[in-house]
């Protein structure tokens, strides 16, 4: 049987890192075994749906390099792929369960349910469950509004072999008869998921560990309908710097894929980085192409332990992929960030090439390019520091005038020669030169700046200080 896996988000917003990782693992699993990857929209919580939420998620997945075989927009043989378009299908199965007396109508009002709950709490029940009142009393047939509940056998143990965590079991008495169809006629999440997963032929489900407690309910439904139960894999949580679960409210971490895109992350870098959040192949290697990851993916190597979202590792990975870009792709990648800069295409390309090795985020190029547009200014304090070290400026100027080939490596060598000659190194040597040339205390590698400024501009900046008393 062909493996079919799915990613099924609610269209309540943008693609979150956690969601992207879930999608990615399902995708890698599917492609590793020549299976299919399906996108399904779980939009039954209508008030929470966001306009374009679905489109946005699909586009971001595509940008990451995750190809979807079936989705609500392109369709497929198992559609419709939006839950709100499947209500009739759900009703059919609800009727079936009612007929088989596995499910029953519940006429209890919200107030009554609350009363039942309080009663249980009062008598010392730690986690109150629905009492089953309407299961025993079906004499309310003239009442118009009802929900549908499914009967859970109290003495049954729900057990499954989780692909990540091994054997997990839940006693039936801890679950309680839960609602499968709300009074508004809309099925609940746990119900619709099971119907869809079965009808769409889903074989394996990789999802966040917050779904563990939903699993016994879903298993019971699969069994009640006489369907095969898919394999479940509950992925570890992703934690941030504070060791807490990455939360959408945590403002210190960039949470959404489109923000990474806007800041100049390459999809290959994020794909690579996310694939190692909670999974790892054998060995120490950290850089993998999509093709390699598909080939290497092994469901038995998913980790139970929380995975740390290490932003420095992501920056390092992104830098790795930026360094590998061809001139043409580098130009395409960086040009949007300097669209408004008053520089010629040649100048831009020279800036791109010079700083390519150091870029961690594409957006950094904006500030670097500004170095070549902004008017030169220097504070009086900085100016004094340069003049106090005039011998460095004189020596550097003398040497650089003789440089015939204007090459960054040669400029670096020449700078080292000046240092050796004057017995200076590091900041002592560099700071006066940097200040004289850029007017700034900090910035990218000064040799790169000198290279782009060119000989004439560099010497003229140095000479201004040499001629000053």
Closer by beta carbon to Zn ion, 108 or else 257: 108
The answer to whether 5 contacts Zn ion (rule: CB under 5 A) is no
The nearer residue to Zn ion, 83 or 188, going by C-beta atoms, is 188
Helix and strand element counts for the chain (H, E):
20, 11
Nearest distance in Å: CB 107, Zn ion: 6
Segment near Zn ion (CB under 5 A); pick from 36-44, 100-108, 193-201, 450-458? 100-108
Collapse the DSSP code of 170 into the 3-class scheme (helix H, G, I; strand E, B; otherwise coil) and give the result.
strand
Q: Considering only 29-37, 107-115, 347-355, 417-425, which stretch makes contact with Zn ion by CB under 5 A?
A: 107-115
**Residue whose CB is less far from Zn ion, 154 or 363:** 154
> What's the closest the beta carbon of residue 40 comes to Zn ion, in angstroms?
31
Residue placing its CB nearer to Zn ion in the complex, 179 or 403:
179
Question: Has 244 been annotated as catalytic?
Answer: no
Q: Alpha-carbon distance 382 to 379, whole Å?
A: 5
CA 18 and chain centroid, separation: 6
The count of chain residues that interact with Zn ion, using the rule CB under 5 A, is 4
Which residue shows structure tokens 């395409």? 332
Closest CA to 276 of 243, 316, 248, 241: 316
Q: Which of 254, 294, 208, 162 is nearest to 18 (CA)?
A: 208
Residue of 143, 173, 248, 398 with catalytic role: 248
8, 15, 66, 108: which one binds Zn ion (CB under 5 A): 108
DSSP 333-366: HHGGGGTTS---HHHHHHHHHHHGGG-SSTTHHH
Q: How far apart are CA 253 and CA 263, in angstroms?
A: 13
Binding mask 56-95 for Zn ion (x = CB under 5 A): ----------------------------------------
Span of 26-34, 86-94, 101-109, 235-243 interacting with Zn ion by CB under 5 A: 101-109
How far apart are CB 176 and Zn ion at their closest, in Å?
Answer: 12
Nearest Cα neighbor of 8 from 21, 18, 23, 30 is 23
Q: Identify the burial level of 446 via C-beta atoms within 10 angstroms of its C-beta, where 0-12 means exposed, 13-18 middle and 19 or more buried.
A: middle
Rounded CA gap, 240 and 306, in Å? 10
Q: Within 10 A of 122 (CB to CB), how many other CB atoms are there?
A: 9
**Binding status of residue 150 toward Zn ion by CB under 5 A:** no
Torsion of CA 121, 126, 131, 132, to 10 degrees: 170
Binding mask 124-143 for Zn ion (x = CB under 5 A): ---------xx---------
DSSP, res 34: T
DSSP character at residue 463: H
Tokens representing 196 are 């869809």
| Residues 416 to 455 in contact with Zn ion, rule: CB under 5 A | none
**Residue 114, CA distances (Å) to 108, 109, 122, 175 in order:** 10, 9, 12, 17
- Comparing CB distances to Zn ion, the nearer of 116 and 280 is 116
**Binding window for Zn ion (CB under 5 A); candidates: 17-25, 105-113, 216-224, 382-390:** 105-113
CA 378/CA 226 separation, integer angstroms:
79
- Least distance to Zn ion from the beta carbon of 123, Å? 19
Smallest separation (angstroms) from Zn ion to the CB of 133: 5
CB of 184 to Zn ion, least distance (A): 16
Report if residue 106 touches Zn ion, rule: CB under 5 A: yes
Q: How far is the CB of 142 from Zn ion (least distance, A)?
A: 15
Q: Does 200 bind Zn ion (CB under 5 A)?
A: no
The residue among 191 and 271 lying less far from Zn ion, judged by its C-beta, is: 191
Between residues 94 and 205, which has the closer beta carbon with respect to Zn ion? 94
- The residues that are catalytic are 248
Where along the sequence are the contacts to Zn ion (CB under 5 A)?
106, 108, 133-134
């Amino acid at each position: 049987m062909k493996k079919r896996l799915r990613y099924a988000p609610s269209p309540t917003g943008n693609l979150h890192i956690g969601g992207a990782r879930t999608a990615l693992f399902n995708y890698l699993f599917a492609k590793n075994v020549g299976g299919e990857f399906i996108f399904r929209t779980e939009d039954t919580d209508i008030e929470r749906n966001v306009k374009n939420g679905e489109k946005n998620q699909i586009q971001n997945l595509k940008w990451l390099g995750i190809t979807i075989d079936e989705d609500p927009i392109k369709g497929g043989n198992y559609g419709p792929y939006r839950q709100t378009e499947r209500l009739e299908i759900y009703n059919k199965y609800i009727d079936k369960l009612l007929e088989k007396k596995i499910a029953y109508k519940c006429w209890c009002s919200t107030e009554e349910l609350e009363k039942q709950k309080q009663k249980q709490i009062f008598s010392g029940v730690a986690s109150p469950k629905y009492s089953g009142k309407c299961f025993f009393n079906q004499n309310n047939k003239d009442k118009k509004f009802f929900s549908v509940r499914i009967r859970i056998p109290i003495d049954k143990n729900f057990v499954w072999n989780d692909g990540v965590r091994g054997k997990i079991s839940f006693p039936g008495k801890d679950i309680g008869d839960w609602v499968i169809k709300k009074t508004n006629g809309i099925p609940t999440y746990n119900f619709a998921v099971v119907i869809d997963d079965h009808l769409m032929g889903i074989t394996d489900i990789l999802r966040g560990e917050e779904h563990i407690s939903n699993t016994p309910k879903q298993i019971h439904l699969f069994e009640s309908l006489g369907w095969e139960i898919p394999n479940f894999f509950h992925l570890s949580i992703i934690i941030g710097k504070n060791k807490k679960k990455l939360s959408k409210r945590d403002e210190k971490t960039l949470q959404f894929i489109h923000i990474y895109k806007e800041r100049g992350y390459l999809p290959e870098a994020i794909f690579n980085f996310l694939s190692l959040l909670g999974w790892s192949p054998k060995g120490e290697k950290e850089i993998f192409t999509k093709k390699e990851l598909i080939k290497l993916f092994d469901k038995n190597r998913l980790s139970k332990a929380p995975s740390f979202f290490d932003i420095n590792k992501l920056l390092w990975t992104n830098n790795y992929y930026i360094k590998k870009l061809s001139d043409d792709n580098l130009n395409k990648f960086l040009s949007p960030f300097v669209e408004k800069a008053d520089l010629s295409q040649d100048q831009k390309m020279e800036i791109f090439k010079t700083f390519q090795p150091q870029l961690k985020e594409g957006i950094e190029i904006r500030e670097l390019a500004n170095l070549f547009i902004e008017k030169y200014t220097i504070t009086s304090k900085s100016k004094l520091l340069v003049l106090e070290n005039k011998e460095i400026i004189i020596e550097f100027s003398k040497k650089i005038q003789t440089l015939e080939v204007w090459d960054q490596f040669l400029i670096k060598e020449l700078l080292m020669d000046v240092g050796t000659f004057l017995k200076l190194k590091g900041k002592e040597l560099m700071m006066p030169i940097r200040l004289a040339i850029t007017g700034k205390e900090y910035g990218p590698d000064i040799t790169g700046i000198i290279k782009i400024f060119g000989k004439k501009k560099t010497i003229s900046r140095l000479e201004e200080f040499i001629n000053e008393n």
